[in-house]
Amino acid sequence: MTDVPELRTARLLLRPWRGEDLAPFAALNADPEVLEHFPSGAMTRAESDALVERFAVRWRDDGHAPWAVERLEDRALLGFIGLATAHFDAHFTPAVEVGWRLAREAWGHGYATEGGHASLRWGFETLGLPEIVSFTTPGNSRSRAVMERLGMTRDPGDDFDHPRIAVGHPLRRHVLYRLRRRDWEGQARRSRVTSLSDGAPTSGSATASSARRMSSAFSTPARPPEASAQ
């Protein structure tokens, strides 16, 4: 993964995966509460390690995949945040999804939103994506709240049955959120104007526009890397 870029935010480092990440990543993947919205439930160590291997393949083949998320304060691995291509048949695919999965102790601190903003900016500015989506089960209120904080919006007409989840399974139904690049650019401009009007510094500060400073889910319960969530 030597070609994987790093993104730094006020509190996080989104970086390539390392061998020492496997044990703490397996620990969070073994937590039933973290995998509550996944039909297959908690993962074994072998399944967790295989997921990291698939991330490496995605970086090679797609040019993007989830990063390992390290907290700058103590260098702890919190989980993953990043982009993944949805490789399944649905009315909105092919599409690139922003998603996240964090250890339970990292919930409630805004890390998913912070890393999600950085991922969106990289996807729009570096990859030139016209749109980024995110999706999850209707009951995954935590991830849905992050999607909304990222500026993503939902049209109920976009909701869909995930083709990789069995017909009749209670987690098969999914909600879809979208963010188009032109809308993200508008949000970033408005955020900068607000920061300037409030007397905030124009750069180099945590109070400046988050989209500028950091220069979402995955949010579906299916097993592949394009389908993961907190």
Residue 229 banded pLDDT, cuts 50, 70, 90: very low
CB distance 110 to 131 below 8 Å: no
Instruction: Give tens-digit pLDDT for 94-136.
Output: 999 999 999 999 999 999 999 999 999 999 999 999 999 999 9
**Selection from 101, 105, 119 nearest residue 38 by Cα:** 101
CB distance 99 to 216 below 8 Å: yes
Buried b (16+ CB within 10 A) or exposed e, 10-45: ebbbbbbbeeebeebbbebbbeeebbbbbbeebbee
Residue 206 banded pLDDT, cuts 50, 70, 90: very low
Instruction: Give tens-digit pLDDT for 3-20.
Output: 899 999 999 999 999 999
This prediction has a pTM of 0.85
Lowest mean pLDDT among 98-102, 165-169, 202-206, 218-222: 202-206
Whole-number pLDDT of residue 203: 34
For 225, list phi and psi in degrees, rounded to 5. Answer: -65, -20
Mean pLDDT taken over the chain: 87
Distance CA 183, CA 83 (A): 18
Give domain limits for the chain.
7-213
- DSSP 3-state assignment of 186? helix
For residue 198, is pLDDT > 80?
no
CB distance 123 to 96 below 8 Å: yes
For residue 26, is pLDDT > 90?
yes
Residue 197 banded pLDDT, cuts 50, 70, 90: low
What whole-number percentage of the chain has pLDDT above 90? 79
Instruction: Give tens-digit pLDDT for 77-97.
Output: 999 999 999 999 999 999 999
CATH 3.40.630.30 correct for 7-213 = yes
**Segment holding 14, helix H or strand E:** strand 12-15
For residue 156, is pLDDT > 60?
yes
